[in-house]
Amino acid sequence: MKIAILGGTGSIGEGFALRWADKHDIKICSREVYKAVKAVDEYKKMLSEKRLYCCGMGGCMNEAGIRDADVVVLSVPYDGVKALLKNLLPYFNEQIVISLVVPMKKNDWYEYTPPKQGSAALEIQEILPKSVKVVSAYHNVSAKKLARLELRLDYDVVVCGDDADAKGTVMKLTKDIKTLHPLDGGGLASSYMIESLTPFLLNLAIRNGFSDLGVKFV
C-alpha cells in the first residue's frame, strides 16, 4: 500500500514511517523537499542499524505524495491543517485520509477546542472532496514510544469513520504495528470523544507525574 505522511518529518510521522516501513511504500511529505529527503535518510539509517527491512521509502513535496497515495496520514497541528488541505485540494481524489488532528489550546491546562463541526475530523471531511474517505485514529498513541522500535505498544486504537471499507483498511494498518489493537469507534461523528481524550491525558500526566500515556480498555 502507498502511504503518504503529511508531517512525516515530525515525531509522530517518524514513528509511523518506521513501524510501517517493512510492509508498505512510505512517502515522507513536506512543504520543503530537502527536509523530507533528509528525514528519509535518517529513517533508513535507523532501520538499517536495527537490521530491519524497508519496503520502500522516499521524500517528496506534499503534492507529489498525495497524488499517488492510497492512504494519506494527517500528522500536522490543527492550527495549520485547514490552509494546508485547501492548498492541496487539486491532488485529492479517492484516497483514505487518516486524521490524527486534535484541536486544543493550553492556558493553565490543556483544553479541547473543537470547531463548529464538532471535531477536527468532521471539519476535515467538510473541506475535502466527497470522494475522499476520512477516518480518525491514533490520537492517543505516544509519538516517542511509537518511534522506539524496540518497544511493544500495548495500546488500544479507536478508529472512527463512515466508510466501512476505509475503516477496515485503517484497522488493518493498525494491526500491522505489532501489539496495537484497533477498536471500531463508530461513525466519524464519534471522533470528538476520542480527540478530546488527548488534552485529558496530557493533563492527567502533568497532575500525576506521568509521561507518554496511552489508552487500554479493560
Q: Per residue in 57-71, pLDDT tens?
A: 999 999 999 998 999
pLDDT for res 189 = 98
- The HSE-up count of residue 156 (CA atoms within 13 Å, CB side) is 10
Residue that is written with C-alpha cell 498525495 in the block = 66
pLDDT for res 212 = 85
Residue that is written with C-alpha cell 516517542 in the block = 144
The CATH architecture of the domain made up of 2-208 is 3-Layer(aba) Sandwich (3.40)
pLDDT for res 187 = 98
Grid cell digits, residue 164? 466501512
> What's the CA gap between 6 and 80, in Å, rounded?
12
Beta strands in the chain (DSSP E): 2-6, 25-30, 56-61, 71-74, 96-99, 104-106, 110-112, 133-136, 155-161, 180-184
The residues of the chain scoring below 50 in pLDDT are none
> What's the CA gap between 101 and 203, in Å, rounded?
18
CA angle centred on 12, ends 211 and 96, rounded to 5°: 135
pLDDT for res 213 = 87
| Domain boundaries of the chain, sorted by first residue | 2-208
